[in-house]
Amino acid sequence: MAATSLSAESAIAPMPPLTDSYGRVIHDLRVSITDRCNYKCVYCRTGEVGAQYPELRIDEYLRLIEIFVSLGVTKVRLTGGEPLLRRNVVELVRQLAQLRTPAGERLDLALTTNGHLLESLAAPLKDAGLNRVTVSMDAVDAATFERITRIEGSFAAVLAGVRAARDAGLTPLKINCVLLRGFNDDQIEGFARFARDEDVVVRFIEFMPLEEGRLWTPEIVVTLREIVDRIGRSMPLKELPPREASETARRYGFADGVGEIGIIAPVSQAFCGACSRVRLTSDGKIRTCLFSQVEHDLYGRLRAGASEGELREYIVRTVQGKEARHHIGEPGFLKPSRSMVHIGG
């Protein structure tokens, strides 16, 4: 499979940065390459619904991503569903690693996975040019973990995947944990120890109303403040400066200098003002916000024969319309038509 090359016209005409109408520069693209998942995490999926949306061919994702890159996207994260279920994901990474930004630089290539298939794929993905992975883990206790994923043996598989990724150099290795009150918030302190023992950055994420069922309430969200206070009682933390303005996680180090945790607080401390992200769903629709009420059919235009210039114009126009912010917890809040697993987390 060869990477399609940009037209001569696109190679010479410098493009202004991709910005929205609020002046935010968009340089981060998240691409779902399937909405299938091999886990049925109880806070995400009902367990009754499977894949709902078609997948594009791998070369079609590549073509669309390449156009975003020509417009200034410098960071691409593959996600899903579960992206490692997708055949040829290693080949896609290899092709993406060949792309260059308009400034001639390599992309920052990352992937978010549940880690179940990572033990055997970590080294090939690294060799293909992947820089980093984020592994989702919602418990450090095997029984709790498997009660959440509803897959027997999942804890051992993911732990092996985490260690393989670290050994392959897919670092800094981040572990994302979604916390729900009364459900897995007893894991907080265990995760803090896990971060130190396994040399990984654990990031707690506030639960957002993006589940297939109806579980979300304001009370179920374990907030940043609460997490910091709880860990701080046994292991003092100090806040670390952000590495970049659009960083989603607030970073904390342990007082003795060993280990780091992060907290992503989209509910209690929304960071929409610094958002640099857009998403492409597995069926090729642009979503300018996780909570968008509308999607923009980029792939439909590609299929209908739009030229590269037309596709670029469409992306620029769509990004201009990016929402100012989400409205979680406000009266009149509307859940998006797709849940997290079908959007691409």
- Which residue stretch of 92-100, 120-128, 151-159, 206-214 sits at the interface with ligand SAM (rule: CB under 6 A)? 206-214
Contact flag: residue 114 with ligand SAM (CB under 6 A) = yes
Comparing C-alpha atoms, which of 241, 222, 344, 255 is closest to residue 295? Answer: 344
Contacts with ligand SAM by CB under 6 A: the residue count is: 19
**Distance (Å, rounded) from C-alpha 340 to C-alpha 41?**
11
* Polymer length in residues for the chain: 345
Considering only residues 55, 211, 212, 260, which one is a binding residue for ligand SAM as defined by CB under 6 A? 211
Residue 340 CA to its chain's centroid (Å): 10
Closest CB to ligand SAM: residue number:
345
- Which residue stretch of 65-73, 77-85, 96-104, 125-133 sits at the interface with ligand SAM (rule: CB under 6 A)? 77-85
Contact flag: residue 113 with ligand SAM (CB under 6 A) = yes
Q: How buried is residue 124: exposed, middle or buried, by Cβ count under 10 Å (0-12/13-18/19+)?
A: middle
**Distance (Å, rounded) from C-alpha 160 to C-alpha 308?**
43
Q: How many CA atoms lie within 13 A of 21 on its CB side?
A: 9
Contact flag: residue 345 with ligand SAM (CB under 6 A) = yes
Per DSSP, the residues of 251-309 read EEEETTS--EEEEE-TTTS--GGG--EEEE-TTSEEESSTT-S--EEHHHHHHTT--HH
Contact flag: residue 82 with ligand SAM (CB under 6 A) = yes
Omega of the bond leading into 83 within 30 degrees of 0 (cis) = no
Considering only residues 133, 263, 319, 340, which one is a binding residue for ligand SAM as defined by CB under 6 A? 340
Considering only residues 210, 235, 275, 298, which one is a binding residue for ligand SAM as defined by CB under 6 A? 210
* 80 and 36 Cβ atoms separated by less than 8 Å: yes
Contact flag: residue 275 with ligand SAM (CB under 6 A) = no
Contact flag: residue 44 with ligand SAM (CB under 6 A) = yes
Q: How many CB atoms lie within 10 A of CB 2?
A: 8
Q: x/- binding map, residues 284-323, to ligand SAM, per CB under 6 A?
A: ----------------------------------------
Contact flag: residue 37 with ligand SAM (CB under 6 A) = yes
Terminal-to-terminal C-alpha distance of the chain:
27
Under rule CB under 6 A, which residues in 145-204 are in contact with ligand SAM?
176, 178
Considering only residues 99, 118, 180, 205, which one is a binding residue for ligand SAM as defined by CB under 6 A? 205
Q: Which is nearer to ligand SAM, 15 or 156 (CB)?
A: 156
Applying CB under 6 A, which residues contact ligand SAM?
37, 44, 79-80, 82, 112-114, 136, 176, 178, 205, 207-208, 210-211, 340-341, 345
